[in-house]
Chains A and B, each alone.
Chain A
Amino acid sequence: MRRKESPGVTFVPVTEYAVQAEGLVKEFGDVKALNGIDLVVPRGKVVGLLGPNGSGKTTTVRILATLLKATSGSAQVNGFDVQRQADDVRRSIGLTGQYAAVDEFLTGRENLTMFGGLFHLEKNYVASRSDELLHKFDLADAADRPAKTYSGGMRRRLDLAASLIAKPGILFLDEPTTGLDPRSRIGLWDVISELVFEGTTVLLTTQYLDEADQLADDIVVIDQGQVIAHGTSSELKDQIGGDRIEITLDDEQSAARAIDALSGVVSGEPTTEGAQYSAPVAGGSSVLIDAVRALDARNVSVADIALRRPTLDDVFLAMTGHGAEDQQPERPEPSRRGRRGGR
């Protein structure tokens, strides 16, 4: 479908960065939600904004999507200033907020038609694009049912479809997979990867480290409204370096003995959580043998022992002094647990 040319079409500057933010500060009364965020998203790349609850992820996205005014600092999206050229920014972006924002009483198709119309797209285009998206997101069968009857995963997909109706070049995704089961999560990852493959620039927030690991080219770690690290996933891992030894003990009571037994084997402070023991080590896989011997000598029996490359979780822990998901113990964390136990 061709764009109808019209007089006074806004000049679209081609900038290197799809998103560029400098010194974003946001105060809500006494609360300083953002404390000087600098951020760039190169065109065609995926940048993951990683941070714990309350670190300012949503606030950052809302400022970039023109929903909030920054207290100070500046940001350009697609070369347009988010404050002075809000409408141009809005024409350039798709936004999927932290909670599925669709009209529950309208069907999937009606939702897409409505958002397409509000995007000022031609009727025929909206109709064919809706069909395309409904098929792509596996919603064709449910297209004419009210969104109220959709599962969480379906709603999320509809929400994403709604932000893609105008084929935006830049997509903001605020915790796109929070609350989804592992299978729907992977399904959504595939969809996002495909969009990126087609050239969409994505800024994605997440508190799931494996999600950032999986999807993002660059990761920006934020905590308490500040960027505390950024780089590719492997750069971040290299920053804290070293392998870790992970041991599952037979019973929690032996944790203290294990710490004691391994003090000569490990290369740094160990952490324990119940029957789980973890500590940085140096010297490759031979430390595993040393560790088993040392534990055996102290009669500590072991259910599982493994050497592990650092994860972003460790990066996070090292940088913030607290885990990414510390504040949310009730959150089920399927894939991470699986990954740990297996090695």
Chain B
Amino acid sequence: MSAPGVQSRRPVLGWTIHDSLIIARSTITASFRIPEALFFQLIQPVIFVLLFAFVFGGAIPIPGAEPGSEGDPSLYREYLMPGIFGQTVAFAAAASTVGLAEAMQRGIIDRYRALPMSQPAVLIGNTFANALRQVLVLTVLSITGYIVGWRINDGIVNAILAYLLLLLFAYTVTWVGAYVGLSVPNTETANTAGLIWIFPLTFLSNAFVPITALPTWLQYFAAFNPISALVQATRELFGNPTGAPTDYWTLNNAALYTVISCVVIIAIFAPLAVRKYRTAARK
């Protein structure tokens, strides 16, 4: 006996895309049903912008800025915005962590695993949806930035490249988030574990202060931290101040290093997450 109304066969890749899109659509639809969560996801980066722009603004000098303008708050805001962009997209990981941990705990993953669907599609769809949601977040953030004095100074093409780079990074970290979400024992842990590694990673970077302001040993870490490269590349592409030039290859080839990092991280974490998914029992 076989199911009625079955669609004709497709190659495996075709079904993977088909199933991923269904999962992605459901994930996005579901996320709009939790207005509070969406609100806080949008408000958090906005608060960061306002805090840094108005509270710390003048206190952080931008080395390499034109003499006499180091303390200019509008300069810091231009410097700051790409940092906030970078930090914000890094938090896209948390949505995948929490979402998958919840799906696992509720047993919905069991249902997916008992369906004749493409199994990696559950993760591909989830990570894709959470990265795509960043489009909305980046839009709100850009408007806020514009209000506090941030500008796109280097043309629309570069700006689009900057946004694409940010989205690529978002997609990359959602795979790490997916792996973490499938590894934690329950949703409570997911809520903390999903965030705990992102904060140090974003602060040990050039997102908010030039890395030359960090102690030397941390400078090395920050220079190889993909978030630093992402932020540096974004600054360059938006035509925002980048701070003093450094000797680090990673920062002098920021866009390239970002793309390489993303590819490497996905190449490591996507298979890990898929394997975890296949073996994970409902907890």
- Enumerate chain A residues within 8 angstroms of B281, measured Cβ to Cβ: 62, 67-68
Which residue on chain A has the smallest CB distance to residue B27? A103
Q: Across the interface, do B9 and A6 meet the contact criterion of CB distance under 8 Å?
A: yes
A7, A162, A168: the one within 8 Å of B3 (CB)? A168
Q: How far is the CA of A99 from the CA of B102 in the complex (A)?
A: 13
Which residue on chain A has the smallest CB distance to residue B111? A101
Determine how close the nearest CB of chain B comes to the CB of A88; give it in whole angstroms. 8
| B-contact bits for A19-32, CB 8 A (1 contact / 0 none) | 00000000000000
Q: Is B252 positioned at the interface, with any CB of A under 8 Å from its CB?
A: no
Q: Across the interface, do B5 and A66 meet the contact criterion of CB distance under 8 Å?
A: no
Q: Is B34 positioned at the interface, with any CB of A under 8 Å from its CB?
A: yes
Determine how close the nearest CB of chain A comes to the CB of B17; give it in whole angstroms. 12
Q: Across the interface, do B5 and A125 meet the contact criterion of CB distance under 8 Å?
A: yes
- Enumerate chain A residues within 8 angstroms of B115, measured Cβ to Cβ: 90, 115, 118-119
- Enumerate chain B residues within 8 angstroms of A121, measured Cβ to Cβ: 3-7
Determine how close the nearest CB of chain A comes to the CB of B61; give it in whole angstroms. 46
Q: Is B2 positioned at the interface, with any CB of A under 8 Å from its CB?
A: yes
B1, B6, B26, B117: the one within 8 Å of A4 (CB)? B6
- Enumerate chain B residues within 8 angstroms of A6, measured Cβ to Cβ: 8-9
Q: Across the interface, do A169 and B1 meet the contact criterion of CB distance under 8 Å?
A: yes
A1, A2, A3, A66: the one within 8 Å of B113 (CB)? A66
Q: Across the interface, do B114 and A8 meet the contact criterion of CB distance under 8 Å?
A: no
Q: How far is the CA of A122 from the CA of B6 in the complex (A)?
A: 6
- Enumerate chain B residues within 8 angstroms of A166, measured Cβ to Cβ: 3-6
Chain B interface size range: 20 to 34
Determine how close the nearest CB of chain B comes to the CB of A71; give it in whole angstroms. 14
Q: Across the interface, do B107 and A93 meet the contact criterion of CB distance under 8 Å?
A: no
Q: How far is the CA of A46 from the CA of B108 in the complex (A)?
A: 25
B6, B23, B110: the one within 8 Å of A120 (CB)? B6
Q: Across the interface, do A67 and B3 meet the contact criterion of CB distance under 8 Å?
A: no
Q: How far is the CA of A319 from the CA of B245 in the complex (A)?
A: 80
Q: Is B15 positioned at the interface, with any CB of A under 8 Å from its CB?
A: yes
Asked, given contacts A103-B30, A105-B30, A118-B19, whether A97 binds B111 with beta carbons under 8 Å apart, the answer is: yes
- Enumerate chain B residues within 8 angstroms of A78, measured Cβ to Cβ: 1
Q: Is B22 positioned at the interface, with any CB of A under 8 Å from its CB?
A: yes
Q: Is A289 positioned at the interface, with any CB of B under 8 Å from its CB?
A: no
Q: How far is the CA of A22 from the CA of B5 in the complex (A)?
A: 33
Q: Is A311 positioned at the interface, with any CB of B under 8 Å from its CB?
A: no
Chain A interface size range: 35 or more
- Enumerate chain A residues within 8 angstroms of B23, measured Cβ to Cβ: 114, 118
| A-contact bits for B25-39, CB 8 A (1 contact / 0 none) | 010011101100000
Q: Across the interface, do A105 and B3 meet the contact criterion of CB distance under 8 Å?
A: no
Q: Is B68 positioned at the interface, with any CB of A under 8 Å from its CB?
A: no
Q: Is A237 positioned at the interface, with any CB of B under 8 Å from its CB?
A: no
Complex interface residues of chain A between 107 and 145 (CB less than 8 A to chain B): 110, 114-115, 117-122, 124-126, 129
Asked, given contacts A68-B281, A105-B34, A120-B116, whether A162 binds B111 with beta carbons under 8 Å apart, the answer is: yes
Complex interface residues of chain A between 14 and 68 (CB less than 8 A to chain B): 62, 65-68
- Enumerate chain B residues within 8 angstroms of A227, measured Cβ to Cβ: none
Asked, given contacts A103-B26, A106-B26, whether A97 binds B5 with beta carbons under 8 Å apart, the answer is: no
Q: Across the interface, do B9 and A91 meet the contact criterion of CB distance under 8 Å?
A: no
Q: Is A167 positioned at the interface, with any CB of B under 8 Å from its CB?
A: yes
Q: How far is the CA of A129 from the CA of B4 in the complex (A)?
A: 10
Asked, given contacts A8-B9, A98-B107, whether A118 binds B29 with beta carbons under 8 Å apart, the answer is: no
Determine how close the nearest CB of chain A comes to the CB of B81; give it in whole angstroms. 32
Q: Is B106 positioned at the interface, with any CB of A under 8 Å from its CB?
A: yes
Q: Across the interface, do B117 and A67 meet the contact criterion of CB distance under 8 Å?
A: no
Q: Across the interface, do B3 and A114 meet the contact criterion of CB distance under 8 Å?
A: no
Q: Across the interface, do A95 and B110 meet the contact criterion of CB distance under 8 Å?
A: yes
- Enumerate chain B residues within 8 angstroms of A129, measured Cβ to Cβ: 5
Q: Is B54 positioned at the interface, with any CB of A under 8 Å from its CB?
A: no
- Enumerate chain A residues within 8 angstroms of B19, measured Cβ to Cβ: 117-118
- Enumerate chain B residues within 8 angstroms of A76, measured Cβ to Cβ: none
Q: How far is the CA of A167 from the CA of B114 in the complex (A)?
A: 15
| A-contact bits for B20-64, CB 8 A (1 contact / 0 none) | 001100100111011000000000000000000000000000000
A62, A92, A105: the one within 8 Å of B33 (CB)? A105
Q: Across the interface, do B116 and A87 meet the contact criterion of CB distance under 8 Å?
A: yes
Q: Is B221 positioned at the interface, with any CB of A under 8 Å from its CB?
A: no
| A-contact bits for B91-109, CB 8 A (1 contact / 0 none) | 0000000000000001110
> CB within 8 Å of B: which residues of A?
1-4, 6-8, 12, 62, 65-68, 78, 87, 90-93, 95, 97-106, 110, 114-115, 117-122, 124-126, 129, 146, 148, 162-163, 166-169
Q: What would 9 A/B residue contacts be, using CB atoms closer than 8 Å?
A: A92-B1, A97-B111, A103-B26, A110-B26, A121-B3, A121-B4, A166-B4, A167-B4, A168-B3
> CB within 8 Å of A: which residues of B?
1-9, 15, 18-19, 22-23, 26, 29-31, 33-34, 106-108, 110-117, 281-282
If A4-B7, A67-B281, A101-B108 are given as contacts, then 7 extra A-B residue pairs at C-beta distance below 8 Å, sorted by A number, are A68-B281, A78-B1, A91-B2, A97-B110, A103-B26, A106-B29, A126-B5
